[in-house]
Structure 1
Amino acid sequence: MAIKKLGSQTIRLLNPPSIISTGTVVGPKEGEGPLAQYFDTILDDDLFGEDSWEKAESKLTKESVKSALSKARLNMTDMEYMFGGDLLNQLMSTSFAARDLQIPFFGLYGACSTMTESLSLASMIIDGGYADNVVATTSSHFSAAERQYRFPLESGNQRPVTSQWTVTGSGSAILSAKGEGPYITYVTTGKVIDFGIKDATNMGAAMAPAAVDTIRMHLADTGFKPDDYDLIITGDLGKIGHQIALELLEKEGYDLSKVLKDCGIEVFDNEKQDTHSGGSGCGCSAVVFCGYLYDQLKSKNLNKILLISTGALLSPTSTLQGESIPSIAHAVTIESKLVN
Structure 2
Amino acid sequence: MSLAFGTRKGKGDKADAGPTGPAAPAAQQLLRRKRRREAARTLAFLSPWLVGFSVFFVYPLVSTAYFSFTTYNGFGSPTFSGLKNWDYVFNHLPTFWQGLRNTLWLVIVMVSLRVAFGLGIGMLITKVKTGAGFFRTAFYLPYLAPPVAATVAFAFLFNPGTGPVNHLLGELGLPEPGWFASEDWSKPALTLLAMWGIGDLMVIFMASLLDVPREQYEAAQLDGAGPLQRFRYVTLPNISPIIMFAVVTGVIQTMQYYTQAIVAGKVASGIAGGSGQPFEPGYPGGSTWTLPQMVYKLGFQSYNYGAACVVALVLFVISMAVTSILLRRRSGFMASDD
Q: Which has the higher strand share?
A: 1
TM-score of the two chains, using structure 2 as the length reference: 0.24
User: TM-score, normalising length from structure 1?
Assistant: 0.24
- The structure with the largest alpha-carbon Rg is 2
